[in-house]
């Protein structure tokens, strides 16, 4: 009897052990399956794009993208048995878009998409649809370098931050290069053109395809109260925008501080024929102002998506100064749906009235990076030729 009891006990232990191993193996397999079930989002196809997000406890998830006409156009997503929400949309036309999910009323980025861009104080998920329009927004085969540079600005009174792009082959080349000073808009900083504007990719591709002259591109911070982008957590100084001393503070620093620094520390050609200035919105106003206040400094002038609110005799007198000093290209651009369109037309009329030979590049669309990337892709091919 004792032997029988012992046998049953050992059998029970063995059975329990077997069942425990089976359960453990089953759980491990389930965990492995979960790990293997990687969520892909966005998944870009020729005819459709699929977005996915895991939110098992959510009651309603919607998708909103910049390709939509308005926030009310956001699209409902469908939930599967494991809590993954999915929506498939027709592939938008080739462009760089931003998007987010709305999970039970809360806006969230796509955690499965590592492609993010920073727009001022927010980060946005990116959808880059390949095609003719975006062909220069992807990485080129021959890539230049983008460096983050600190320089002293006696004009503003602080050590400041800017980005400097140098073209492929710069480090080993014996040649000197022309320089494009590329200025951002309101709410932006030194990071804006490289992140949202794809400036590095555009210049790399244009240069590799021999559509543009190899050039240095300098992207400063256009906010004189900032030493650098807010992400660096440095203290800022508030300026009275109505103070006349403030009006030309930044553009003076471009000419007095930034240009001398670049021409001393980089293989830059030091003459007006080899300097270009371009900027969007606020940077477009800076472009007009710096060329008006310091005529003969830049022979390539490209204001984008901007206009002068009131054309004064003083403004027209400064245009005459630009004309007298001479220049090679005055390239002015704006979208015909831009909220500054009427101001841009008024400014363009003033350029014509004052004999400023120029190109007025009109595009569809509004005050958007979709336009500004196209503008850089276009006027970049005209510089220094």
Tell me what the mean pLDDT of segment 18-46 comes to: 62
Cα separation of 170 and 145, whole Å? Answer: 9
Residue 37 confidence (pLDDT): 67
Q: What is the pLDDT of residue 380?
A: 98
Buried b (16+ CB within 10 A) or exposed e, 70-84: eeeebeebebeeeeb
Q: Give residue-wise pLDDT tens across range 142-183.
A: 999 999 999 999 999 999 999 999 999 999 999 999 999 999
- Which tokens belong to 360? 């007025």
Q: What is the pLDDT of residue 33?
A: 47
pLDDT at 241: 73
| Euclidean distance between CA atoms 100 and 107, whole angstroms | 7
pLDDT at 119 over 70: yes
Q: What percent of the chain has pLDDT over 90?
A: 85
Kindly state the percentage of the chain with pLDDT values over 70: 90
Mean pLDDT over residues 243-263, rounded? 92
State mean pLDDT over 319-339: 98
Is the pLDDT at 93 greater than 70, yes or no?
A: yes
pLDDT of residue 17: 45
Rounded Cα distance between 315 and 356, Å, is 13
> What average pLDDT score do residues 329-335 get?
98
Q: What is the mean pLDDT of residues 108-126?
A: 95
Q: Up-side HSE of residue 78: CA atoms within 13 Å toward CB?
A: 6
The sheet that has 158-166: what strands, in order across it? Answer: 145-153, 158-166, 216-220, 179-183, 275-280, 300-304, 329-335, 359-363
Could you give the count of Cα atoms lying within 13 Å of 45 in the half-sphere of its Cβ? Answer: 9
Confidence (pLDDT) at 50: 98
CA distance 193 to 97: 15
Q: What's the pLDDT score for residue 70?
A: 78
At 182-221, the pLDDT tens digits run 999 999 999 999 999 999 999 999 999 999 999 999 999 9
What is the Cα–Cα distance from 293 to 315, expressed in whole angstroms? 10
- Asked if pLDDT for residue 22 goes beyond 50, the answer is no
* pLDDT the model gives residue 57: 96
Instruction: Round the average pLDDT of the chain to a whole number and report it.
Output: 91
Is pLDDT at 364 greater than 50 in this prediction? yes
Span 40-85, pLDDT tens digits:
999 999 899 999 999 999 999 999 999 998 777 899 999 999 999 9
pLDDT tens sequence across 256-298: 999 999 999 999 999 999 999 999 999 999 999 999 999 999 9
What average pLDDT does the segment 78-107 reach?
96
Strand ranges, E, within 18-94 = 43-44, 48-54, 61-65, 75-76, 78-79, 84-90
């Amino acid at each position: 009897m004792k032997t029988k009891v012992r046998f049953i006990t050992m059998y029970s232990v063995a059975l329990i052990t077997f069942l425990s191993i089976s359960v453990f193996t089953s759980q491990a397999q389930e965990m492995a399956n979960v790990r293997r079930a990687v969520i892909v989002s966005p998944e870009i196809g020729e005819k459709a794009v699929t977005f996915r997000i895991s939110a098992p406890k959510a009651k309603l998830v919607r998708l909103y993208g910049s390709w939509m006409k308005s926030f009310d156009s956001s699209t409902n997503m469908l939930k599967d048995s494991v809590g993954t929400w999915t929506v498939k949309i027709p592939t938008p036309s080739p462009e760089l878009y931003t998007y987010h999910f709305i999970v039970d009323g809360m806006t969230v980025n796509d955690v499965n998409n590592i492609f993010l861009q920073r727009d001022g104080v927010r980060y946005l998920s990116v959808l880059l649809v390949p095609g003719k329009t975006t062909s220069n927004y992807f990485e080129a085969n021959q890539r230049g370098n983008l460096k983050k540079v600190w320089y002293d600005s006696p004009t503003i009174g602080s050590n400041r931050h800017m980005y400097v792009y140098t073209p492929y082959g710069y480090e080993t080349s014996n040649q000197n290069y022309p320089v494009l000073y590329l200025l951002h808009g309101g709410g932006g900083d030194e990071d804006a053109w490289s992140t949202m504007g794809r400036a590095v990719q555009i210049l790399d591709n244009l240069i590799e395809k021999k559509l543009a002259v190899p050039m240095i591109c300098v992207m400063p911070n256009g906010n004189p109260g900032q030493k650098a982008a807010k992400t660096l957590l440095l203290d800022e100084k508030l300026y009275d925008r109505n103070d006349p001393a403030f009006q030309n503070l930044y553009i003076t620093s471009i000419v007095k501080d930034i240009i001398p620094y670049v021409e001393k520390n980089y293989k830059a050609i030091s003459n007006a024929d080899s300097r270009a200035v371009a900027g969007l919105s606020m940077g477009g106003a800076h472009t007009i102002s710096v060329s008006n206040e310091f005529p003969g400094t830049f022979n390539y002038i490209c204001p984008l998506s901007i206009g002068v609110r009131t054309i004064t005799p003083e403004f027209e007198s400064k245009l005459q100064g630009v004309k007298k000093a001479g220049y090679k290209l005055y390239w002015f651009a704006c979208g015909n749906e831009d909220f500054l369109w009427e101001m841009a037309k008024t400014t363009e009329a003033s350029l014509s009235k004052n004999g400023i030979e120029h190109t007025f590049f009109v595009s569809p669309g509004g005050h958007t990076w979709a336009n500004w990337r196209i503008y850089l892709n276009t006027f970049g091919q005209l510089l220094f030729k």
